[in-house]
Homo-oligomer: A and B are copies of this chain.
Amino acid sequence: MDSKQFRKYAHEMVDWMADYLENIEDLPVRSIKKPGEIIAALPQNPPQQSESMDTIFADFNSLILPGMTHWQHPSFFAYFPANSSYPSVLAEMLTATMGAQCMIWQTSPAAAELEERMMEWIAEMQQLPEGYTGVIQDTASTATLCAILTAREKVSGFDVNENGFTGQKYVVYCSEQTHSSIEKAVKIAGIGSQNLRKIPVDEAFAMRSESLAETISKDKQNGLIPLCVVAACGTTGSTAIDPLEPIGEICKKENVWLHVDAAYAGTAAILPEKRWILNGVELADSYVFNPHKWMFTNFDCTAYYVKDKSALLRTFEILPEYLKTREDNQVNNYRDWGIPLGRRFRALKLWFVIRSFGVDGLRTKLRNHIELADQFRNWIESHPNFQLLAPVPLNTVCFHYAPVGSTLEEQNQWNAQLLEELNSSGKMYLTHTKLNGVYTIRMVIGQTSVDKKHIEEAWQLIQSFSGKV
């Protein structure tokens, strides 16, 4: 393909892209394909000869597109969103074209310095306390792993990095509701899942800080070393907000690293009226949230903040001869701020998004989502056959269908069935969790283009389908 052909096809793609996003509501949200259907339609062997982009693009439309779950569909209420937006897609086009590898300042100075400034902008937007330094990571899973590793090295005096584990007995703490990535990180870091304490939660599914204090104290008595507490600002199940202030006080007293995982909910901290969700973050050692979830910035883009930057760098730094540059002492070489060496230019889409929306524009979007969730919560609470299953601090509504007189067993079965039928309709996509043994439907109202009509339609559909299960 030459430049002329590229220009032609890229213009064609742009029209496809704009059409796709304009007409996305005509597509089933969750793919209707069955396991194995798509791969069966793909040739087993790679083509020897070049194929035309017309053929490839036609196959994309006929084979791949019907197998996609449409994350940008306004009726995508599943998991947490992976939001995109027009300015973000524009930035991704430029990023892909420049194809810069941003491991070192010298390999893309503008990427390194824009990243630094974007992390400052976000810190200001969220009123983060002085002393936090930010870096973009791929996912919150990786950032949480970085936090636990940095804690491990700081407490061991960087000895595990040097000599491996030599009898250190570290313990990590999170709530029963915390994300599975904490357990994954504890395993990877060589601490072991048996040394992850899952602290009980209160009726709002937030960590009981007094239980945390007791557990830490008991572990200390048993000769173990409390290493890190991972507090959730917005659990995956129900966006419960762990009480950061008492947790932070305990961590200060016990000299334990506090990592705040606000992967989804963190975006809301740019709203003055929701900034309370981060109250106590000033007591934390690290903080993570994902602009790629609810801040209209394409996946992947995770904002990771840390107070002790030098401990982070010392945990990850490597400096072989072939990576040395003349500016090493003057600049941020972000390769030393996390796990992978290679890094995409991810600050550009943040810059495009923040400037194109403006802080006010971002706030308007978020407030709309929160209001829609409030409306939806009202509907659930006012209906005799539905029940709210968790508080709604932001825009995730946890509920189930529970007709009067039904048993828990019946309810669990019906709700699993209801979810599957709603999703199979193609009209909306929801996912579930379990809260106190109750099969819980999660309705997350945070998609970039979701509006009142989508939640009205969703609510109609939920009522109508629930009558049939």
Contact = CB atoms under 8 A, between A and B. Distances in A.
A3 to B, nearest CB: 5
Contact of A82 (B7, B100, B318): B100
A170 B163 CA distance: 11
Q: Give the number of times this chain occurs in the complex, counting copies.
A: 2
Contact of A322 (B79, B110, B121): B79
B339 A94 contact: no
A15 interface: yes
Interface string A236-266: 1100000000000000000000000000000
B339 A432 contact: no
A358 interface: yes
Interface string A32-65: 0101111100101111111101011000100111
Contacts of A53: 87, 90, 356
The 3 A-B pairs at the shortest CB distance, nearest first, are namely: A190-B190, A67-B110, A164-B192
Interface string A382-419: 00000000000000000000000000000000000000
A37 B84 CA distance: 30
A465 to B, nearest CB: 17
Contact of A321 (B78, B189, B315, B434): B434
A323 B339 CA distance: 25
Contact of A344 (B44, B66, B300, B339): B300
A279 interface: no
Interface residues of A, number: 155
A461 interface: no
28 contacts: A1-B85, A1-B86, A2-B86, A14-B14, A20-B98, A39-B114, A39-B117, A44-B117, A47-B355, A47-B359, A49-B360, A50-B358, A53-B356, A64-B348, A68-B108, A83-B99, A84-B99, A96-B298, A139-B342, A142-B340, A145-B339, A160-B190, A163-B194, A164-B165, A180-B323, A237-B321, A237-B322, A321-B433
Residue from A84, A109, A120, A331 having most chain B Cβ neighbours under 10 A: A109
Q: Is the interface of A mostly helix, strand, loop or mixed?
A: helix
Contacts of A15: 7
A308 to B, nearest CB: 18
Nearest to A46: B121
B94 A70 contact: no
B194 A164 contact: yes
Nearest to A82: B101
Residue from A67, A114, A321 having most chain B Cβ neighbours under 10 A: A321
A49 B195 CA distance: 48
Nearest to A40: B113
Given A110-B65, A358-B47, A39 B116 contact: yes
A215 interface: no
Contacts of A124: 45-46
B167 A190 contact: no
A162 B192 contact: yes
Given A117-B39, A354-B47, A10 B18 contact: yes
A18 B31 contact: no
A10 B90 contact: yes
Contacts of A45: 121, 124
B20 A97 contact: yes
A183 interface: yes
Interface string A170-209: 1000000001110110011111111100000000000000
A289 to B, nearest CB: 13
A13 B114 contact: no
Nearest to A149: B188
Contact of A21 (B6, B22, B117): B6
